[in-house]
Chain A
Amino acid sequence: MAELAQSTPPLNNPPVMEQSDDKVISPWKDAWRSFKKNKLAMVGLGIVVFFILIAIFAPLLAPYSFSDQKLADKHLAPSGEHWFGTDEFGRDIFSRVLYGARISLWVGFVSVAGSVIVGSALGIVAGYYGKIVDGIISRIFDILLAFPSILLAIAVVSVLGPSLRNALIAIAIINVPIFGRLVRSRVLSVKEEEYITAAKAIGMKDSRILIHHVLPNSMAPIIVQGTLAIATAIIEAAALGFLGLGAQPPTPEWGKMLADSRDFIIQAPWTVIFPGLAIMLTVLGFNLMGDGLRDALDPRMKS
């Protein structure tokens, strides 16, 4: 013991600061530290948290109902009474934008969660078992990726019928191959690691190795890709809504709001500006946060 202490002084006498504030630095805490230092990423996190709070408290914050029509008040310019103005049915745009956050975030999170679960499962199976299984699964991914994503989403929605739920399913499907490929490539590299052989050498089952060793080692890229995918999912939901294939009236979906107002873009620009800004801000938030996470979780950036 004494001789070990002599031979490895840097570890037995770590810098005092680290010892005192936090003895065990888990990889996640470490990542959070470098994430905090990234200003843009923190701005992104701020935007995301802001919209999540809006989504949760929309009924408390909104001065009006999102569906109450008052035709006499149509196309009112922004004022103290209607902060963002009103649309062609006299509905309060501010309230609709607040409620819209619920829909966009819901679509973003749920569709990405769906693609992560399905994609990871397929990716793990393909990567770990290889051969024919890998061939079949990877070719399916290739086929799905061969279509422009929005086109594929349109195709899926036209088969299932236009509704918010089906748009969500379509968006989940088009993101599956992205996560599938990501996890498959992680599995391929992780399974060659010596600690996987070591895990086998202590008698661990394949299934346990996959869940306990391979999957946790793939979490970082999944989280990064997931955050960025939420941004794309929100845009895709808005695009489907714009095309009339997503949310149906009177659901205050941002893309749908844009579509409904595009005829009045000259007379009542506020009908387009505010939902558009909302889309832009949420997507920007998720993208900034995703980039920050990528920097924080990338092992090559570790000092």
Chain B
Amino acid sequence: MTDDGEISVVNSIDFQVNSGEVLGIVGESGCGKSVTSLSVMGLVPSPAGKVEGDILFNGENLVSASEKRMRQIRGNEIAMIFQEPMTSLNPVFTIGSQLIEALQIHKKWPKKKAQAHAVDMLKMVGLPRAEELMKDFPHQLSGGMRQRVMIAMAMICAPKLLIADEPTTALDVTIQAQILELMKKLNEETDTAIMMITHDLGVVAEMCQRVVVMYAGKVVEEADVKTIFTSPKHPYTVGLIQSVPDMRDKKERLYSIPGNVPKPGSVKTGCQFAPRCAHAFDRCISETPALESLGGNQRVRCWLYEDEKGVDIVDRTIS
């Protein structure tokens, strides 16, 4: 999907977000979650960032869309929230002037009207004393408040899709819960679909209806949120779920998947996860599995389920 020089950082990404739903994209650091989201926005870092294939938005292919069209879409129809609320706001401008920028660009609203709407948005994301906040500078706000401002900024044009790239990673736990609550509320009250990029399965369980699990630039499993937690199929998904510490269970050591995400392009043939997989057999190293449907809306990229007779590996690993 994306070429960095000659190396594909991300490839064979295939998933969809339905209108109004919350889709979770999970995976370890460095598995291509952020690159995927930037691809949708058409913001893959240059130099040499290149997207191949189709990204369909309301039936329109964003990959072949002109830069001008992309600018109309960005912020207006697809908006994005970034990981770091501390650095996503320009330090030299007031909150208000940054909030109304999208309205001025896309809706061509006069300043007064845009400002009034911005105040409403600040109230909607639960910020106190919204009118005064408009005149504040980013450094006067806490991380949680800034992330709320970022959400207000992203939602201000009522986009159809909101991409949230680890929106709570940089925040402390209590603020995290508030921000998630807020995003859930916004998703329910507006018809904005949310693409939630995270490495936190707790966030997924809390927020999402469907989940896409990514590993080393590929989708390895996709299912609705209940299925992912009750019957995960891909050994990587199983490992991820096991890695979540259980508070009721005082184990000596926390579980972790051995090894690291391979460097892009280093695993040439076979399943990307094979070197770290306890269930890998010959075929996993020689042939690359495809993303196959397992019935329902669960799809998995693993040879273990090739003829759907796959053993229930959950039982095997845990015992």
Contact = CB atoms under 8 A, between A and B. Distances in A.
B102 A195 contact: no
A298 interface: no
A11 B139 CA distance: 10
Interface in A1-24: 1, 3-5, 7-8, 10-12, 23-24
B249 interface: no
B144 interface: yes
A199 B80 CA distance: 10
Interface stretch (A67-75, A201-209, A265-273): A201-209
Interface residues of B, number: 45
Contact of A11 (B82, B101, B135, B140): B140
Given A7-B144, A193-B87, A216-B92, A201 B79 contact: yes
Contacts of B137: 24-27
Interface of A is mostly: helix
A251 interface: no
A158 interface: no
Contact of A4 (B41, B43, B88, B127): B127
A217 interface: yes
Contacts of A216: 90, 92-93
B276 interface: no
Contact of B87 (A8, A195, A203): A195
Interface string A213-255: 1001101000000000000000000000000000000000000
Nearest to A218: B92
A195 B149 CA distance: 13
A212 B178 CA distance: 32
Given A194-B82, A202-B79, A203-B75, A4 B178 contact: yes
Contacts of B71: 203-205
A109 to B, nearest CB: 24
B141 A11 contact: yes
Contacts of A205: 71
A203 B76 contact: yes
A131 B175 CA distance: 42
Contacts of A194: 82-84, 87-88
A216 B82 CA distance: 22
B90 A11 contact: no
B142 A202 contact: no
A5 B82 contact: no
Contacts of A212: 101
A197 B132 CA distance: 26
Given A201-B75, A204-B101, A204-B105, A24 B144 contact: no
A36 interface: no
A22 B103 CA distance: 29
Nearest to A220: B92
Interface in B120-175: 126-128, 132, 135-137, 140-142, 144-145, 150, 153-154, 174-175
A200 interface: yes
Nearest to A11: B142
14 contacts: A7-B144, A7-B178, A11-B141, A26-B137, A131-B47, A194-B84, A198-B150, A199-B90, A202-B75, A203-B74, A205-B71, A213-B90, A216-B90, A217-B90
Closest 9 pairs between A and B when the two form their complex, measured CB to CB: A202-B75, A203-B75, A203-B74, A202-B102, A201-B80, A194-B87, A8-B142, A195-B90, A203-B71
Given A5-B128, A200-B41, 7 more contacts: A1-B128, A24-B94, A194-B83, A198-B88, A199-B101, A202-B153, A208-B105
